[in-house]
Structure 1
Amino acid sequence: MTADTALLDRVVQAGTAPDAEIFAVVEDAGLGAVVGVLVEEILFRCDAPINVMPVDIALDVTHESERHRTVFRMVRDRPIAILDGEEPVIRRELRMNVVDLVRRLYGRADHPRTGDFHDAFLPTRPADLTELPEIFASTNQASGALLSGCTVPRIDLGALSVAYGSDKWASFHWYTAHYEKEFAPYRDRPVRILEIGIGGFSGELGGSSLKMWKRYFHRGTVFGLDLFDKSELNQPRLTALTGDQGDTDGLVALAREHGPFDIVIDDGSHENEHVRVSFEALFPYVRSGGLYVIEDLQTSYFPRFGGTADKVAGSKTSVGLVKSLLDDLHHREHATYPGHPTSVTEESVVGVRVYRNVAFIEKGVNGEDGIPRWMDDEAWIALGAIPPSAD
């Protein structure tokens, strides 16, 4: 873990911690370093500016007697720039305590969006008042874009999928509605996510879903795994790893280095053998309370992916794997229990939820007991659950 990554992890963790923890991070790393982390996150989250006239906005972040200023230059069709050395024409000054900005970015999704900053709109008189209407409009538009990056986004995951170019919604998949329901309990947590398959065809870099997850999980750390080097995608809270999902040893090494994970999503080759290899290697490295997701179960019925050309998927397919997990979930009811060693999945699968072409496997402690094994007809009759024999 690099120093920058370690600092980012501390800032993210501090987002829901007491103020004293944020103070400690600032005292250890320095206000400038912490602001650097926060500004990178703001730039990632910001909506694209729509103002035609360039607008310079100053953000002053304070801590006790210290103040650190960052000037953003915003204009349509260009990346937001951080001015350094160039004399700006400040159209708006925003001032915020570092504690409040950390909470805005890495606190809970319901954190207030007002009442925590100071504002000076057009702090100096424009030299040419004929430009005033355009200055007003452009400053308003640029400010809205900047402040969109200073909050936890209230996002429809389907819209976010479309915006980033992911195929998880409104393509030939309709997954995001299920993801929103399943991932809601994790939204405010500093989760670690691994997605198998980064995408990108015909030389494209891909990474659409990884960016979507980074935006959705505002405190999360996202890893992607691909056969090809996609490290150009690397940025704070997002890392592209290179590897083969059919390589058990490689997957275990990856999980030991970067896990354990709260969520693993298999959107890789969709080869049925690869799906099973990945699950067997990575499920042990999913945290208790976490989820393992398998997408595109339809390949269980496609022979070219190792599927079954029949209406009943074979045991070696992805659907066959999911069916077997239902058996593992109920292993205490098996006639052979407790006379055989239990597997990882028998011990830790606590839920299997399946929607069209996507399955969510929940991990935990599968320790609930059921009906005592000594229950016989005499006991059931004593309970009144079955009538006594007429004999």
Structure 2
Amino acid sequence: MRTDVMRLAAAAGGHPDDLTELIDDIGPGRCAEIATDEIAFRLDPPRLHPGTEIELQLVFGHRDTTTACLVTVTGSGATHATGRSATPHATIRQQLGEVIRQLLGPRGAAGPATRQVELRDSGDIASFRRPPVWFAATQRLLSTMDHRDEVTLTELASRYESDKWGIHRYTQHYPRYFEPLRDRPLTVLEIGIGGFADPAAGGCSLRMWKHYFPRATIYGVDVYDKTPHARQRIHTLRADQSDPEALLAVVARTGRPDIVIDDGSHRVEDVLTTFHTLFPHLRDGGYYAIEDLQTSYWPRFGGTSAELDAPHTSLGFLKSLVDGLNHEEILPGGRRAAPTDQQIRSLHFHHNLAVIEKGANLEGGGPDWVRFGPK
């Protein structure tokens, strides 16, 4: 079932009148709550003294109604609630449809034509000489809408403390595949939420993906209960990736994913089970990423360093997909056909990381007179 935020993300890329009608259908209050949640989540607070709180009032207009929401900024982040403050540090007024297009629509949307900003003490010469901290907080709030495409995936990994940068170096590779998809209302599915059995631990990469893909719905799957990490556009599901039936139940809930990232147990048998189960459901043009492939060499995870092409290991299997990529060139009797031969468009390998692009692989083989020689 499509959520309200998924419906808004889809409409934000279309005709403004369609978005206006959808806001009517969902309700301006609910849409304002969705917009404010996105703003508060993305806001990177300035450096503040302990105990400092900055109140930023948002007033969204829609037709002849207004909805007020309040964002409270501290040194550790931002929270939000519906309502008004008697003494906000800043007030931002803007049409609701325009805000949603900026937050959930494709990049390059028209600028904020209806926005008005009122800053406390902005006319005071002391503020001119030394701007107060709420000027910076307001600037950062506005940047969540106006400059969302400037932040890199590596910066987001650092902000949300994901080990995809630092422990690993995956965020330097992912953008070459994922950047062209960022403007789409995607379904992103990641296996493994992190934190082991502690429900409150982990979730760093889910938050990173949510920020990086501003129109996407993010699903995290873990063998442990991770419901504390659920929030707007992030859903957590419980499943064992070694169980194909459990994985099929996940897809029944998420629908066909556009991106799958396997950062789960890293056991070779689980990696293969997950791939064989989920890849057929990946959308054409989507990507399937497998992380931490070093375990393919380690017996503790079911791998081996003695037989590097062993088909039961993660990398041994992935190497066989290279032959599948060229299946139309293999002479009769040279190789048994695999189900993925016609479905993998490209394979990309990096240190401990593989990214597989799904798509039609039916370009045709070389002519018979070249392959077999002239008659």
Give the TM-score normalised by the residue count of structure 2. Answer: 0.90
Provide the residue aligned with 2:88 in structure 1.
Answer: 90
* Closer, same or farther: CA 325–15 of 1 in aligned 2, 3 Å: same
Provide the residue aligned with 1:28 in structure 2.
Answer: 25
User: Structure 1 residue 153: deviation in Å?
Assistant: 4.5
Q: Which AA in structure 1 matches 2:99? A: L
Residue 348 (str. 1) matches residue 346 (str. 2): no
Structure 2 CA distance, aligned partners of 1:377 and 1:79? 70
Figure out how many residues of one structure are paired with residues of the other and give that number.
370
Provide the residue aligned with 1:387 in structure 2.
Answer: none
Query: Superposed, which structure 2 residues align to 1:277-288 within 5 Å?
Result: 277-288=273-284
* Closer, same or farther: CA 166–339 of 1 in aligned 2, 3 Å: closer
Provide the residue aligned with 1:170 in structure 2.
Answer: 166
Residue 120 (str. 1) matches residue 118 (str. 2): yes
Q: Which runs of 5+ in 2 are unaligned?
A: none
Query: Superposed, which structure 2 residues align to 1:187-336 within 5 Å?
Result: 187-201=182-196, 203=198, 205-310=201-306, 312-336=308-332
Provide the residue aligned with 2:35 in structure 1.
Answer: 38
* Closer, same or farther: CA 305–54 of 1 in aligned 2, 3 Å: closer
Provide the residue aligned with 1:104 in structure 2.
Answer: 102
Report the secondary structure of 2:285's partner residue.
strand
User: Structure 1 residue 51: deviation in Å?
Assistant: 4.3
Q: Is the 1:48–1:76 Cα contact (8 Å) retained in structure 2? A: yes
The farther-off stretch of 174-183 and 133-142 is 133-142
User: Structure 1 residue 242: deviation in Å?
Assistant: 0.6
Q: Is the 1:271–1:306 Cα contact (8 Å) retained in structure 2? A: yes
* Closer, same or farther: CA 116–153 of 1 in aligned 2, 3 Å: farther
The farther-off stretch of 56-65 and 173-182 is 56-65
The farther-off stretch of 47-56 and 246-255 is 47-56
* Closer, same or farther: CA 112–338 of 1 in aligned 2, 3 Å: farther
Report the secondary structure of 2:3's partner residue.
helix
Q: Is the 1:272–1:300 Cα contact (8 Å) retained in structure 2? A: yes
Q: Which AA in structure 1 matches 2:217? A: T
Structure 1 CA distance, aligned partners of 2:368 and 2:169? 43
User: Structure 1 residue 191: deviation in Å?
Assistant: 0.9
RMSD (Å) for aligned C-alpha atoms: 2.7
Q: Which AA in structure 2 matches 1:270? A: H
- What are the superposed Cα offsets for residues 123-171 of structure 1, whole Å, 9 maximum, x if unpaired? 899xxx9996899512202212322333434212112112211111122
Report the secondary structure of 1:353's partner residue.
strand
Structure 1 CA distance, aligned partners of 2:41 and 2:311? 44
Structure 2 CA distance, aligned partners of 1:96 and 1:337? 67
* Closer, same or farther: CA 339–153 of 1 in aligned 2, 3 Å: closer
Structure 2 CA distance, aligned partners of 1:225 and 1:210? 10
Residue 180 (str. 1) matches residue 175 (str. 2): yes
User: Structure 1 residue 234: deviation in Å?
Assistant: 0.6
